[in-house]
Amino acid sequence: MRAERPSLIDPWPVRIVVGALIVGFVGLFLALPLYTLFAQAFAKGVDAYLRAIDEPAAWAAIKLTLTVAAIAVPLNVVFGLAASWCIAKFEFRGKQLLTTLIDLPFSVSPVISGLIFVLLFGLQGWLGPWLRSHDVQIIFALPGIVLATVFVTFPFVARELIPIMEAQGTQEEEAARLLGASGWQTFRRVTLPNVKWGLLYGVLLCNARAMGEFGAVSVVSGHVRGRTNTMPLHVEILYNEYNLTAAFAVASLLALLALATLAAKAALEWRGRTEIAS
């Protein structure tokens, strides 16, 4: 065996070096920071940890972060599905442009993303005075934070779905149409089931980013404690107030949310595999 396919099996020294590199890298850049985070959070005991979290401003930040994610993620699911469906299954003019635009939030710095909304909706911006006269508050309030988050998390679902849909081609949809299914039926019964694992995966990524976003949200938040501070912003404030235990406690909550997301992802992949196998 070994003689027939030598290129597939690396010599032992290479394996050991590469393995050590990977373990070292993961340990240094992922495991160690995570350990430090929880160690700092519990440095003054479980009581101090709970007290740090059970505080009105912390609760408000948690509530706001969950609210923002609960609005931004469904919006981007709808958009991502629509966009990837169009791009993967149809030919039209401007397709290349649409694909590029979807990627835009990846290439623009989050701070700029936030500033765009200040320039648009701020009182000195284009729409600001009109909004103020109609008593609508966009930036420095929930809508602005949601907008910034939606913008930043825009590509996650679409980017996840486009390659899957493209790989699957259009034959199944064509068959469905020939058998008399309507457009909506085709989408619901054929396209959607085919991409559901990819979709869920995109949702998880989108959600993780929505809850963790700092830069863009920081620009449009106004930093009103207990009202417009999301969890990442609240962590920064606590840190700046020399309140290390509380800062790390809230940060550990964020990390837990991320870990839960990862666990959900692993579970999904496992289910996906068993479903395909059966």
Partner 1 sequence: MRRPILWLAAISLVLAGSAQAQTRLLNVSYDPTRELYVEINKAFADKWKKDTGEQLLIEQSHGGSGKQARSVIDGLEADVVTLALAYDIDAIAKVGFVKEDWAKRLPLNASPYTSTIVFLVKKGNPKAIKDWADLIKPGVEVITPNPKTSGGARWNYLAAWAWAKDTNGGDEAKARDYVTQVFKHVPVLDTGARGATVTFTERGVGDVLLAWENEAFLALKEFGNDKFEIVVPSKSILAEPPVAVVDSVVDKKKTRKQAEAYLTFLYSPEGQEIAAKNFYRPRDKVVADKYAATFPKVDLVTIDKAFDGWTKAQATHFADGGVFDQIYKPGAK
Q: Binding residues for partner 1, per CB under 8 A?
A: 63, 67, 70-71, 74, 118, 121-125, 128, 132, 137, 139-140, 142, 222-227, 237, 239-242
Nearer to partner 1, 104 or 192 (CB): 192
- Distance from C-alpha of 230 to C-alpha of 224, rounded to nearest angstrom: 10
Yes or no: say if 169 and 215 are a contact pair by the CB < 8 Å rule.
no
Nearer to partner 1, 162 or 220 (CB): 220
Least distance from C-beta 69 to partner 1, angstroms?
Answer: 11
Single-letter code of the amino acid located at 93: R
Paired tokens of 123: 């009182």
Least distance from C-beta 201 to partner 1, angstroms?
Answer: 19
Least distance from C-beta 17 to partner 1, angstroms?
Answer: 35
Nearer to partner 1, 67 or 168 (CB): 67
Nearer to partner 1, 106 or 235 (CB): 235
- Distance from C-alpha of 52 to C-alpha of 145, rounded to nearest angstrom: 24
- Distance from C-alpha of 143 to C-alpha of 141, rounded to nearest angstrom: 6
Closest CA to 115 of 228, 236, 215, 224: 215
Nearer to partner 1, 175 or 224 (CB): 224
Least distance from C-beta 145 to partner 1, angstroms?
Answer: 12
Nearer to partner 1, 129 or 169 (CB): 129
Q: Please work out, in degrees rounded to the nearest 5, the angle formed at the alpha carbon of residue 198 by the alpha carbons of 96 and 109.
A: 55
- Distance from C-alpha of 173 to C-alpha of 6, rounded to nearest angstrom: 44
- Distance from C-alpha of 147 to C-alpha of 217, rounded to nearest angstrom: 9
Least distance from C-beta 114 to partner 1, angstroms?
Answer: 11
Least distance from C-beta 247 to partner 1, angstroms?
Answer: 11
Yes or no: say if 144 and 213 are a contact pair by the CB < 8 Å rule.
no
> 153-169 burial, b if ≥16 CB within 10 A, otherwise e?
bbbbbbbbbbebbeebe
